[in-house]
Each structure stands twice: as C-alpha cells, then as structure tokens.
C-alpha cells in the first residue's frame, strides 16, 4: 500500500521533483523533500500539503554540493524515520561556466554523481531494512553522445562545454546506477534510471532569455517530465525490475558505453575515494 511508504526526493521544491512529490503525496505516501533553500522548500511543502490534503510532507535542508551537508541530512533523516521505501535522486544543475563544489569538484560531476553516490550509500542500510524498496536516478538522454575520460573527470583539460560536461556527468550517473543494481542483487532493493524528456525546468534559469522562452514554448512541462519518475516510484509493474533505463515509462537501451562494467567499477572506486566511503 502506497500510504505506508516513505519517499525521499532531492530537489523537490521545483520542476520535476516538485511534481513528483505532489503526485506521490496524493497517493498518501510520506514525502520527505530534500532541498537547498529553506524559503523555497517551505513554500513548495505548504503548496503540496494544500493541494493534496496530505500533511505527511516533510522538508530537510541540504546543499547537495557539500558532502558534510549530505551526511548531516542523512543523520537527520535517520533520527526521524525508521524506514525508506523510495529514494529519488532528482536534483540537477546545468551551469554555463565551470564551477566547483565545496570539496573542489566540478559541479556537474559533484551534483549528478558524487551526491547520489554518497546519499544512496549512506541510506542503503535503511533501504535494505525497508525492502522491497526502490532507488530512482533521474539521468538524461544527453549521456548518449558522451564518452568517459578518466583522465579529465573534473573537466580541467578541455575548454568547458556545458553540454559535453553535462552529458558526461549523466553517463557517469547511469554507469553508477547499473553498478549499484548489480551490487544490490538479492536484497529486494532495485535501482533504475530514466530520461524525463526535454523539460522546461529552472535548470535553465541562468541561461539567456531566448533559451528560457524556447524551453517554455517547446519543451515538456514539469508535470509531463515527472511521469516516468512517478511510474518507477509507484507502479506494481516494475516491482523487482532493476538495472534498467526508462523513457516514457518503457525500458530502453542507453548508450553502449553505459553498459561498460569495467568503467562502472572504476568509477565506483573513484567515487568511494572522493567521498571517503568504505564501499569498495
């Protein structure tokens, strides 16, 4: 029953994350929103409660670009909740210029790989205890043109290109998802990833006025973009299905490189070192 389930969603105060939180709250799921900004997070939380009538919508503050902040948020979550049935790593960035996280890592890499890696691994004990449970990583079809360059994971050597760096970070996120699914075999915890479509969200907030207009006119709405996340979080049809990439609620092939197990294992080891986790 969905009303007995607890879901944690990152980046849940706007766009796809907010719509996902809203629909799951309508299903009477306990929704925990992990957001960076207190004011925007609280505003979204109140709106979701008003629109759904579900008062079990909680807000935890966390800047996902800070590993210390992630550890603190996980500690807060575990002090408050005994179970976790659905984890949706939804938060993302799309920066025109190269920027570094608190720990000094390139921000796309930090937000789309290191943050989900750390958050997920710190919550795995709770997810396993609550099984059957689901991990959902919101990736992008932008990964299809990307190639992993292990000598330049921080985008220091080549001229910074938004779409190249974003695509590589999303490829890395899919590699992580597949490796995670292999490591979770037999636990009744599934890990899947998805492309939400080209969606008009506030990821483009620091882009040109024309880019923002174009996105609003021609891209999917956040409601449409959230459909596959909601499906993977709630549908009985995907119970037990793991290690898949979904588009429009259907499993699809991701890029050939995303299935490279050697790359996935290498990336896992790098992430473990960068986050200080003993999960080799």
Catalytic residues: 166
CA distance 153 to 279: 20
Strand partners, 30: 6
Nearest to 23 by CA among 221, 231, 189: 231
Q: Is the bond into 132 cis (omega within 30 degrees of 0)?
A: yes
CA distance 153 to 31: 34
30 — phi, psi (to 5°)? -75, 120
SS3 90: coil
Burial 148-172 (b: 16+ CB within 10 A, else e): beeeebebeeeeeeeebbbbbbbbb
Instruction: Name the pairing type of β-strands 133-138 and 189-195.
Output: parallel
CA distance 129 to 181: 16
> What residues contact 145, with CB distance under 8 A and at least 6 apart?
167
119 — phi, psi (to 5°)? -60, -45
Pair 34, 11: CB distance under 8 Å? yes
Pair 42, 64: CB distance under 8 Å? no
CA distance 274 to 277: 8
SS3 157: coil
């Amino acid at each position: 029953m969905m009303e007995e389930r607890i879901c944690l969603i990152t980046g849940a105060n706007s766009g796809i994350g907010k719509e996902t939180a809203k629909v799951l709250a309508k299903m009477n799921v306990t929704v925990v929103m992990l957001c960076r900004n207190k004011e925007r997070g609280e505003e979204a939380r109140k709106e979701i409660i008003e629109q759904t009538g579900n008062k079990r919508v909680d807000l935890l503050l966390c800047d996902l670009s800070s590993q210390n902040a992630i550890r603190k948020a996980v500690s807060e979550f575990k002090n408050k909740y005994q179970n976790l049935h659905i984890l949706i790593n939804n938060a993302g960035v799309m920066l025109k210029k190269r920027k570094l996280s608190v720990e000094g890592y390139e921000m796309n890499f930090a937000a789309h790989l290191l943050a989900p890696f750390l958050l997920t691994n710190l919550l795995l004990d709770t997810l396993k205890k609550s099984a059957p449970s689901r991990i959902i990583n919101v990736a992008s079809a932008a990964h299809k043109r990307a190639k992993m360059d292990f000598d330049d994971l921080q985008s220091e050597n080549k001229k910074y290109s938004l779409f190249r760096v974003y695509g590589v970070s999303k490829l890395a996120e899919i590699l992580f998802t597949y490796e995670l699914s292999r490591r979770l075999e037999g636990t009744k915890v599934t890990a899947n990833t998805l492309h939400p479509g080209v969606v008009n969200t506030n990821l483009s907030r620091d882009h040109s006025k024309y880019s923002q207009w174009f996105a609003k006119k021609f891209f999917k709405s956040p409601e449409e973009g959230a459909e596959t996340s909601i499906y993977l979080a709630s549908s009985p049809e995907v119970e037990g299905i793991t290690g898949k990439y979904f588009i429009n609620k259907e499993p699809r092939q991701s890029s050939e490189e995303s299935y490279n197990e050697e790359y996935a294992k290498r990336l896992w080891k790098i992430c473990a070192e960068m986050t200080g986790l003993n999960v080799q």
